[in-house]
Amino acid sequence: APRRRPPPQPLLPELPEGGGGAGDGIPRESSPFISNSGLERGNFYEGKNMALFEEEMDSNPMVSSLLNKLANYTNVTQGVVEHEEDEDSKRKEIKAPCMGTFIGVYLPCLQNILGVILFLRLTWIVGTAGVLESFIIVFVCCAGTMLTAISMSAIATNGVVPAGGSYYMISRSLGPEFGGAVGLCFYLGTTFAGAMYILGTIEILLKYISPNAAIFKAEEKTEAEEAMLNNMRVYGTCTVALMAVVVFVGVKYVNKLALVFLACVVLSIMAIYAGVIKTAFDPPDFPVCLLGNRTLSRQKDFPCAKYTVKGNTTAVTELWNLFCDGASLNATCNEYFNQNNITQIQGIPGVASRVLIDNLWSVYGDKGSVVEKQNHPSVPVPDEAKDRDLPYVFSDIMTYFTMLVGIYFPSVTGIMAGSNRSGDLRDAQKSIPTGTILAISTTSFIYLSCIILFGACIEGVVLRDKFGEGVNGNLVIGTLAWPSPWVIVIGSFFSTCGAGLQSLTGAPRLLQAIARDGIIPFLQVFGHGKANGEPTWALLLTAFICEIGILIASLDSVAPILSMFFLMCYLFVNLACAVQTLLRTPNWRPRFKYYHWTLSFLGMTLCLALMFICSWYYALIAMLIAGCIYKYIEYRGAEKEWGDGIRGLSLNAARYALLRVEQGPPHTKNWRPQVLVLLNLDSEQLVKHPRLLSFTSQLKAGKGLTIVGSVLPGVYLDKYTDAQKAEENIRSLMGVERTKGFCQIVVSSSIRDGISHLIQSAGLGGMKHNTVLMAWPQSWKQADHPFSWKNFIDTVRETTAAQQALLVAKNIDLFPANQERFSEGNIDVWWIVHDGGMLMLLPFLLRHHKVWRKCKMRIFTVAQMDDNSIQMKKDLQMFLYHLRLNAEVEVVEMFENDISAFTYEKTLVMEQRSQMLKQMQLSKNEREREAQLIHDRNTASHSTGVVKSLTAVAMPEKVQMTWTKEKLISEKHKNKETCMTGYKDLFSMKPEWGNLNQSNVRRMHTAVKLNGVVLNKSQHAQLVLLNMPGPPKNRQGDENYMEFLEVLTEGLNRVLLVRGGGREVITIYS
């Protein structure tokens, strides 16, 4: 094979310093090494071939080097991340992963699936539920795992699965939130499985191998159960401690023993099948003693009779002594004992007998009920209290179908064993599907065949006898085995022991993988381990959780708990596959082709159904735990972008919703302010007025669209780093102020154009802003900000043109922060012109927020000379009643009076300033041109000037303050008459007043008067909302417009100037 070499240094070590010699096989013309020394030549060669792409070389690797890296990719075993870190520094020869399908996937799955339930509980499940219902239980559980395996195969073959198995697959498919929740569920499941295996080991030890080893002995039969549980707790705790030490000392020993444990399982199963075949022609001799139809417990081998006759003497048996109060034949005996005969039947009649017919149907019973043989003659005794001290075989728990599903399900788990070893497989993408599906098929066949064979070979009362009390305390499944019951007893003991060890080995690594992903902050500590990567802390936690399972002490109680966690995990594997398939993500290209979203969906439904079938309250608790973990990861903000399916789902849903939201404006009932907030940034790209964002979140209360925009002057190529910095700053401030929304930074040649672009293009489809919120330019009067007022007025004009509402917050830095609370005060609305109801809606929305909740709303409107104030007030109250708004109403009367000297003086100062502002903007030659124009204008006749000013007044504006068209006309005539006479005395005081633009004087008059009225009523209000007058159509008066607004709001603390978007936003209809 050709040598691979990294492209940046293409030096062939074989070549001598002088370049390619005659005998080195490289023709001199084509040899790259002709004259220069090594490195330069290499680069020169590379440069000559790839000169066109040399700019890209820094950021994008050459294809050859990329392929070289991929070829040397090594996949280390789970949890040993340190190897990857040392890889580049050591560059040792790493042994390639070499496990095939059979050793790497099939056998581990087989070993994990077949286990404790098969040996200890399957016969009892068959006896209790009957062959048919047991078949259904096993079939449903196996179908669930098979469907899950198909989904898992699709995920596992969609790209390289590093070590980490199921957790890795789910988290990378469904995102960190689901990944964390499922990973922890799987971890808890594996840990509780360890507890279950240990309990199984102890049960085999104390019941079948060495009953004398029990520490707690029961004096009476009623105490036997409690004593047994305590024995389990003591021995279980010791075993957990011992196993934890073994795992801590060396995992390699566990892995070496795995083959031994597997051999035990295989031998045990072969012994069962051999035993079944043998029963056909030579059934083993395991007699069962019945009194009537009740099974008798025979812990020791005593005669199955009431008395024995030897010669002429009749001697009572041990049974007589247990049921009667004396050894004589005329002693008082138990009524049932007197009425019924004792019979002996074969415990294992064999395949040839017709026992299968009797075992087809279920026999469920309550706790403490006697195990009885169906259809066997017996004489019932009325009102008999079944005495627990009598030597019957009692059922130790209440049985019903759903409970048995919960106990059985753990015996089909373990399908992830292969995918968890994905790091050690030669070709994981081929081995995982093949091995897992084959293993599930094999185990399903074993389970289903065992159910039928147990039902066909073993007597029902023996099957229902959980601990084999009726067959001299033998393991029930052991009685069937050939050549000896001890094959199964010893085999099952080692296999459960091994499974427990493997759970304690696997679970800490899983926890370590989750901890190292850093998605659950409080688990970080469990990511650390020994120098070789062994997870020490995780092992301690695992042993502790395992101990909780041990303290429950009953195998039948622990099994449903781990069923929940495994089912939850499998449910999410199916969900992951279904979501990826339905979304048709471009990256979803599994090599395993035999999957379909319907299968995944069916598997998901089956898992969910099984959860609730097993135990609805455990299911709810498991879901609650998973939900809490999900929410916690979401809340802590695991900023992991794994290209997961849920993110893709969100994108699809967003696209669908955006297409559904029609382009046109929404109905009035649905109208809410979708705000574009225009922020100013300082030279450090920090926000100048953070209170603007506080006010936004108070206004929005988390609803609707918020776009926070800002403009940076300059060229994007030069400023993109500044733009990124500005975006980060704004986002962090949005986080602090809890403003939910989007951030948009525009770099534009001028701020004026940038704002225009934002107003035009922010938003997407139906999700566009309809309201612009900005701060009042405080510095508009300063000489160094000549353009801020121009930008402001142009923004006002553009929002009007775009039919968007405009909110201008004056004294924004005095507005309250989100943490402040107003305990009293008013929000005053000055409703001067109707702008679609925006003024009414804003206080209503603000009062939803805690800051403004205790403020009262007051509405003021202005009445003029010919208005009926009382009627106006009544109408307004009625209007508010229909709008369902609670507010005080007040009508303020404004009478016509003469324009004061103060107004004239204000107007004069204003015009002088505007003249000065104009001067500043003119360059030198423009200034000369302007001087000439002014000279020409002064020499022209004064009359034309008067006419001009009057026509300027005669053009009414779209939104005037309190002026109506009729008023303007009457005002105009009045002007004509009184212009020269009425004000002569005033002008004599200050002759310049005579030259003032009368339109400006009247506007100033309105502003001053209105300001006085507002100050009188609302000086101490927490917030004043005012109609914002529109800018003049004639751009000559722009700077005066700023002065009018300044005068209008003078002396008020917090002012929100509101300009409607030209459409109704509030309605009286439902």
- Encode pLDDT of 575-612 as tens digits: 888 988 888 888 888 888 899 999 999 999 999 999 99
- State phi, psi for 788 to the nearest 5 degrees: -60, -40
The percent of residues above 90 in pLDDT, for the chain, comes to 18
| DSSP conformation class of 802 | T
Top pLDDT among 624 and 1062 is at: 624
Q: Angle at Cα 409 formed by Cα 407 and Cα 412, nearest 5°?
A: 140
Per-position DSSP letters for 349-405, written without gaps between them? --TTSSHHHHTSS-----TTPBPB-TT------TT----TTSSB-B-SS---HHHHH
Q: Span 119-124, mean pLDDT?
A: 91
Top pLDDT among 729 and 73 is at: 729
Least confidently predicted of 24-28, 60-64, 146-150, 652-656: 24-28
Question: Among 673, 703, 689, which residue's Cα sits nearest to residue 733?
Answer: 689
Tell me how far apart the alpha carbons of residues 350 and 246 are, in angstroms, rounded to a whole number.
Answer: 43
Q: Span 437-449, mean pLDDT?
A: 94
Asked if the model's pLDDT at residue 780 lies above 80, the reply is no
pLDDT band of residue 58 (cuts 50, 70, 90) is: low
Asked if the model's pLDDT at residue 614 lies above 60, the reply is yes
The pLDDT of residue 547 is 94
Please say whether the beta carbons of 299 and 363 come within 8 A. Answer: no
The pLDDT of residue 988 is 44
Least confidently predicted of 309-313, 367-371, 1054-1058: 309-313
Number of helices and strands (H, E) in the chain? 37, 15
Asked if the model's pLDDT at residue 294 lies above 70, the reply is yes
Q: Which of 231-240, 617-626, 1010-1019 is the most confident on average?
A: 231-240
Q: Cis ω on the peptide bond leading into residue 483 (within 30° of 0)?
A: yes
pLDDT band of residue 952 (cuts 50, 70, 90) is: very low
Strand bridging mode 805-810 / 771-775: parallel
The pLDDT of residue 338 is 84
pLDDT band of residue 32 (cuts 50, 70, 90) is: very low
Tell me how far apart the alpha carbons of residues 601 and 576 are, in angstroms, rounded to a whole number.
Answer: 10
The pLDDT of residue 979 is 41
The pLDDT of residue 77 is 36
Q: What is the pLDDT of residues 243-290, one digit of tens each?
A: 999 888 877 777 778 788 888 888 999 999 999 999 888 888 888 888
Q: What is the pLDDT of residues 323-332, one digit of tens each?
A: 888 888 888 8
Q: Which of 433-447, 760-774, 835-849, 888-902 is the most confident on average?
A: 433-447
241 half-sphere exposure, CB direction, 13 A CA radius: 6
Asked if the model's pLDDT at residue 197 lies above 90, the reply is yes
The pLDDT of residue 972 is 47
The percent of residues above 70 in pLDDT, for the chain, comes to 77
Please say whether the beta carbons of 598 and 441 come within 8 A. Answer: no
Q: What is the pLDDT of residues 496-519, one digit of tens each?
A: 888 888 888 888 888 888 888 888
Tell me how far apart the alpha carbons of residues 1026 and 1038 are, in angstroms, rounded to a whole number.
Answer: 20
Q: Span 398-425, mean pLDDT?
A: 85
The pLDDT of residue 1020 is 85
State if pTM tops 0.75.
Answer: no
- Torsion of Cα atoms, 871 then 872 then 877 then 882, to 10°: 100
The pLDDT of residue 452 is 93
In this structure, the chain runs to a length of 1070
What does pLDDT average to over the chain? 78
Question: How many other C-beta atoms are found inside a 10 Å radius of the C-beta of residue 738?
Answer: 12
pLDDT band of residue 192 (cuts 50, 70, 90) is: very high
Question: How many other C-beta atoms are found inside a 10 Å radius of the C-beta of residue 19?
Answer: 18
Q: What is the pLDDT of residues 536-545, one digit of tens each?
A: 889 999 999 9
pLDDT band of residue 933 (cuts 50, 70, 90) is: low
Asked if the model's pLDDT at residue 758 lies above 60, the reply is yes
- 300: exposed, middle or buried (C-beta count within 10 Å: 0-12, 13-18, 19+)? exposed
pLDDT band of residue 919 (cuts 50, 70, 90) is: low
Asked if the model's pLDDT at residue 49 lies above 70, the reply is no
Cα dist from 852 to 839, 881, 885, 1021, whole Å: 16, 21, 15, 12
Q: What is the pLDDT of residues 957-988, one digit of tens each?
A: 333 334 444 544 554 455 444 444 444 444 44
> Which strands form 771-775's sheet, in the order they lie side by side?
742-748, 706-713, 675-679, 771-775, 805-810, 1055-1059, 1023-1027, 826-831, 856-863, 888-893
Spell out the residues 6+ positions from residue 750 whose beta carbon is closer than 8 angstroms to its own: 713
Top pLDDT among 1063 and 1 is at: 1063
Q: Span 711-716, mean pLDDT?
A: 91
Tell me how far apart the alpha carbons of residues 777 and 1039 are, in angstroms, rounded to a whole number.
Answer: 13
pLDDT band of residue 916 (cuts 50, 70, 90) is: low
Q: Span 566-582, mean pLDDT?
A: 89
Asked if the model's pLDDT at residue 815 lies above 60, the reply is yes
Q: Angle at Cα 103 formed by Cα 100 and Cα 104, nearest 5°?
A: 65
Please say whether the beta carbons of 770 and 1061 come within 8 A. Answer: yes
Beta bridge partners of 856: 826
The pLDDT of residue 449 is 94
Asked if the model's pLDDT at residue 743 lies above 50, the reply is yes
Q: Span 616-635, mean pLDDT?
A: 87
Note the Cα 495 to chain centre separation in Å: 38
Spell out the residues 6+ positions from residue 808 whose beta carbon is closer than 8 angstroms to its own: 774, 775, 776, 1028, 1056, 1057, 1059
Least confidently predicted of 237-241, 376-380, 443-447: 376-380
